Structures are given as C-alpha cells and as structure tokens.
Amino acid sequence: MSARAALEILDSTFDLFKQMGSGIALDLQWLEIARRLQMVRDEAHWTADAAFVATKLKAHAAYYAMNYQPDRDSERVRTANAAMLDKVVEHYSVLRAHLEQHLTAADLAGPEAAGDTGPD
C-alpha cells in the first residue's frame, strides 16, 4: 500500500472534474470517479474520516451529474452548475489532505530515498 500511489490516482480524477464542467457524459464520468476512489481505497490506509469524505465526494459528484443543466447562455444556470461542481472539488481537496497525512518520509522523498534508482 502506498499513499503516494493513492494520491496519484486521486489526482487523476481532477481531469474528470474539468470534463464534468462541460456537461458531457456525466454519468460515465461519475462512474469513473467511483472506480478511481475504489482504487485509492485499495492503495491507501483508509480511515473512517477518509471513507466519509470519499462518500461525500461521490455523492456530490452524483448530485452534479443528476442536476446539471446546460446553461444556454444563462448566467444563473452557469452559476448554479459552478457552485455544485465547486462542492465536488471541495471534497476532493479534503480527501487529498487526509491522504497526505499518511505520507511517510520515504514517500515524500521519492523512490531514490528508498534506494530504488530504477532499472540497472
């Protein structure tokens, strides 16, 4: 289990949030977010707090996918969509902070600190 690998997987979901902002294939993006969160869970030390935040992240992503409306040049709709997506990103940030707490000194230093210099 590696907190660094978990963070890399979690960070890869950020691109999905950008795609969600366009409103295209939201249900598929939500499923991919859920899949990646499961990969993060398999990779990291999973606490009750992290599980709670991950559940909130998935719930807000699902809420966004279900309630997204094409803006059709409406500032009100655009603002509402942005506010919902901001909640998704907020919970992503909280989950990322939880995972960062579990990084060890070796994780922070990278593979070179552990003597892994790559293939010989």
Classify 47 as helix, strand or coil. Answer: coil
Judged against a pLDDT cut of 80, whether residue 1 lies above it is answered with: no
Would you state the structure tokens that stand for residue 27, as one six-digit string?
């249900």
118 secondary structure, DSSP code: -
Would you state the structure tokens that stand for residue 20, as one six-digit string?
């969600």
**Cα–chain center distance at 54:** 8
Name the more confident of 120 and 96.
Answer: 96
Q: Give the phi and the psi of residue 55 in degrees, each rounded to 5.
A: -65, -40
What confidence category does residue 3 fall into, taking pLDDT thresholds of 50, 70 and 90?
Answer: confident
